[in-house]
Amino acid sequence: MKFIKVLFLLAFINIFGQTNVDNQLAVHNFPKIKSSITMPVTIPLSEVSNMINSSVKELIYQDDSYTDNNNDQFKVKVWKTRPIRLVGGTNQNILIEVPLKIWAEKGIGTLGVYTYQNTTFETVMSFNASLTLKNNWTIATNTQPNGFKWVTKPVLDFGRIQIPITSLVEKNLKEQQEKFCKTIDQQMATQLNFQQYTVMAWNVFSQPFNISQEYNTWLKVTPVNINITPLKFYGNQIDTNIGIDIYSETFTGTKPESSQPVKTASDFNFIPVLADRFLLQTTANVPFTEATNIARNMFLNKEYDVRNSKVKIKDIKVYGVDNRVMIEAETEGYVNGKAFISGIPVYDEIKKKIVLSNTKFNLKTANILQKTATLLFKGKIVKMIEEEYGIPTQDLENSSRKSIEEAFNKEYYKGLKMSGKVFNLKPTNILLNPSGITAVIDTNASLKLIINGI
């Protein structure tokens, strides 16, 4: 059953591109985040029907002997006239209908002299199959006969004598129906064993994948265990939710090592309800060149009053020193020199900006008299930086949202499509690297696996 075999592999496939090694940033190892990825999975009964129909030949049964079955003088052939139909029941069961055409021939006579007559008629054979999903990744079925529905009843026409042979036909069909039940169960047990595919999926999912080529950011996901909700049966499909408890770790720079591969998949847990969202971390980078441009657009050539005189900012640049962002402003006028304002970058949720906190001020000037104005100048410029300067994060959030949703909404194999949505993003941690500022963004998202037309 092709779609079942790739279901678990595709659920966790590496869905992002490869890294761009030309854009190396400093290495930051972030804490592990415990989360869960939940994927609603829909199994169309048409796919299960295709599997059963492919395993059942058109000619289901044939009896070519008049003398078997205590010389019953009876022959019969049974064909499947249309595809076998499956309908979801209400008690974790599937109702199976097999439309049949039957040709029968009966002999009447004594002492070895017989007259033969044949007839063709149709019936629908019914089954009731219950499905049990075991936590060792196998499915057990118990298929039982559910009787016949005659479309046309079998009657042999010998002119004046009309001989109904319903009982003879039903006897043979009931025997074959019992055998057919075992065939269905054997087919299900053989083809619906997910152990090897789960191992492949688990090991693929454990490979670190690149979530930002631009910022060379890696996401390493370590599966912990898998939870599955009970199967829900509808008229044309079976629904369930697969939840993978994971630890996610974000890295920048060098690709992290993969987790050790597993050889066997651990048993999963049944759970009534799964959350419909999961948490992951991504990163976005603001180069110091861009931070400098933002500062220049805000403050270059601005003038400030100090003791009835003017102080003009004629140049400004932004860079990093240890764990602090440094703003270096070159001034002229009443104060000639360089002012250095440093601060720890933090995210201001109200302003939606990366701003500076715990600011420190230092002024370098050759004019001793100007140093008396340091306190006044410090108050003005520090207040200006704290209140006005900030790096907007809206573009960073939009870019991160776009890259994740693009990766989550693709058809990676024909008939198998991942559908995902990002609900919200929020920068939660700001770090410095040699070339810029790295924003760690917490992301809430959902992921769904859609199966159609495999």
Whether residue 320 lies inside any domain: the answer is no
Q: Per-residue pLDDT for 321 more than 90?
A: yes
- What lies within 8 Å, CB to CB, of 260 at 6+ separation is none
Whether residue 36 lies inside any domain: the answer is no
Distance CA 369, CA 308 (A): 15
Strands (E), 229-323: 232-233, 237-252, 269-270, 278-287, 303-306, 309-321
How many C-beta neighbours within 10 Å does residue 388 have? Answer: 12
Note whether 339 and 363 are within 8 A (CB). yes
Q: Average pLDDT of the chain?
A: 77
Average pLDDT estimate for 341-363: 91
Greatest mean pLDDT range, 255-259, 282-286, 309-313, 374-378: 309-313
Distance CA 140, CA 379 (A): 76
Taking CA 436 as the corner, what is the angle to CA 430 and CA 438, rounded to the nearest 5 degrees? 30
Q: Per-residue pLDDT for 18 more than 50?
A: no
Nearest residue to 442 via CA among 401, 407, 394, 402: 401
User: What is the DSSP secondary-structure string of 69-104?
Assistant: HHH--EEEEEEE-S--EEEE-SSSEEEEEEEEEEEE
Q: How far does Cα 80 stand from its chain's mean position?
A: 38
Q: Report the number of distinct structural domains present in the chain.
A: 1
Average pLDDT estimate for 131-156: 84
- What lies within 8 Å, CB to CB, of 228 at 6+ separation is 133, 240, 241, 242, 243, 268, 269, 270, 271
Whether residue 310 lies inside any domain: the answer is no
Nearest residue to 281 via CA among 75, 440, 63, 435: 440
Q: Which pair of tokens denotes residue 244?
A: 């993978």
Whether residue 138 lies inside any domain: the answer is yes
Average pLDDT estimate for 337-349: 91
Whether residue 271 lies inside any domain: the answer is no
Predicted local confidence at residue 392, as pLDDT: 87
Per-residue pLDDT band at 25 (split at 50, 70, 90): very low
447 compared with 30, residue with greater pLDDT? 447
User: What is the DSSP secondary-structure string of 148-197?
Assistant: EEESS--EEEETTEEEE-HHHHHHHHHHHHHHHHHHHHHHHHHH-B-HHH
How many C-beta neighbours within 10 Å does residue 233 have? Answer: 20
Per-residue pLDDT band at 252 (split at 50, 70, 90): low
Instruction: For residue 146, give the H/E element and its range.
Output: strand 139-150
Q: How, if at all, do strands 93-110 and 113-133 pair?
A: antiparallel
Per-residue pLDDT band at 143 (split at 50, 70, 90): very high
Whether residue 181 lies inside any domain: the answer is yes
- What lies within 8 Å, CB to CB, of 179 at 6+ separation is none
Per-residue pLDDT band at 414 (split at 50, 70, 90): low
> Which has the minimum average pLDDT: 205-214, 354-363, 367-376, 377-386?
367-376
pLDDT in tens, 166-208: 777 777 778 878 888 887 788 777 766 667 666 766 776 677 8
Domain that holds residue 73: 45-191
Predicted local confidence at residue 62, as pLDDT: 81
Predicted local confidence at residue 443, as pLDDT: 84
Q: Per-residue pLDDT for 28 more than 90?
A: no
77: exposed, middle or buried (Cβ count in 10 Å: 0-12, 13-18, 19+): middle
Average pLDDT estimate for 138-159: 83
> Amino acid identity of 439?
A
CA dihedral 176, 182, 183, 187 (to 10 degrees): 170
Whether residue 78 lies inside any domain: the answer is yes
Distance CA 35, CA 6 (A): 24
Q: Which pair of tokens denotes residue 15?
A: 């869905």
Note whether 218 and 28 are within 8 A (CB). no
Q: Which pair of tokens denotes residue 258?
A: 């993969």
Whether residue 115 lies inside any domain: the answer is yes
Distance CA 128, CA 313 (A): 84
